[in-house]
Each structure stands twice: as structure tokens, then as C-alpha cells.
């Protein structure tokens, strides 16, 4: 399973309609080398966390409004949302174990 691609139109519904499950959103861009390094980890997490968390991505080049809304200044930046609210912001490439712990917190 791949991370869900979010757009300006689908973002708010995706982070708030999750029955209390956390949503990890990766703010990324195609030209970003570290973002490409993180992608396989997020793909793996998306499959393993299915049913207990949602893994999603926002392409900041296609949706700069979302990047501005959350003050994204460096990528990759990942934000964990719970009940539609940001609870944790992570910048840079992190290990799968680190991201699993962030989802569980």
C-alpha cells in the first residue's frame, strides 16, 4: 500500500475523518533528495500501519498553500495529526522505528 496523496481539496477531510487514528503527513517535493530517501520507509509504514494509522503525502510544489498553512520551511517535514490537530512535527529523514514511535505517542 502507498501513502495517500493529499491535495488542497482533500487535506482537511483526510486528517479529521480517522476515528481517532493518527495521520502522518509527509510534506515533500520531487526534486528533494532526502524526500526520495524517506519514500520507501513511508511506503513500508503505509502497508504495516493500515487500519491503525494513515500515512499521507503532500507535494509542496503542487500545493504550496498547504505548505504555507503549516509553516513548512524545510523538507522533508512530517506532521503527525490526531483528531485533526498537529501534535508532532518531524524534520528530516528519520528511521522507520522513529516514525513508528511518533505514531504511537
Please tell me whether residue 6 adopts helix, strand or coil conformation.
coil
Question: What pLDDT score was predicted for residue 17?
Answer: 77
What are the catalytic residues?
A: 32, 35
- What pLDDT score does 44 carry? 96
* Cis? peptide before 86, omega within 30° of 0: no
Tell me the C-alpha distance between 9 and 101, whole Å. 29
Q: Give residue 1's pLDDT.
A: 79
Instruction: Just give the CATH number of 4-104.
Output: 3.40.30.10
pTM, two decimals, is 0.95
Q: What is the pLDDT along the chain (105 residues), one digit of tens a residue?
A: 799 999 999 999 999 877 789 999 999 999 999 999 999 999 999 999 988 999 999 999 999 999 999 999 999 999 999 999 999 999 999 999 999 999 998
The three grid cell numbers given for residue 66, joined into one nine-digit string = 498547504
User: Torsion over CA of 52, 88, 31 and 46, rounded to 10 degrees?
Assistant: -10
How many DSSP H helices and E strands does the chain contain? 4, 5
Amino acid at each position: 500500500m502507498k501513502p495517500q496523496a493529499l491535495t488542497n481539496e482533500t487535506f482537511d477531510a483526510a486528517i479529521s475523518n480517522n476515528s481517532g487514528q493518527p495521520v502522518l503527513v509527509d510534506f515533500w517535493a520531487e526534486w528533494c533528495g532526502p524526500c526520495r530517501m524517506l519514500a520507501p520507509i513511508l511506503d513500508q509504514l503505509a502497508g504495516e500501519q493500515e487500519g491503525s494509522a494513515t500515512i499521507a503525502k503532500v507535494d509542496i510544489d503542487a500545493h504550496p498553500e498547504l505548505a504555507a498553512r503549516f509553516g513548512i520551511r524545510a523538507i522533508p517535514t512530517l506532521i503527525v495529526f490526531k483528531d485533526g490537530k498537529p501534535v508532532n512535527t518531524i524534520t528530516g529523514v528519520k528511521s522507520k522505528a522513529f516514525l513508528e514511535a511518533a505514531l504511537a505517542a
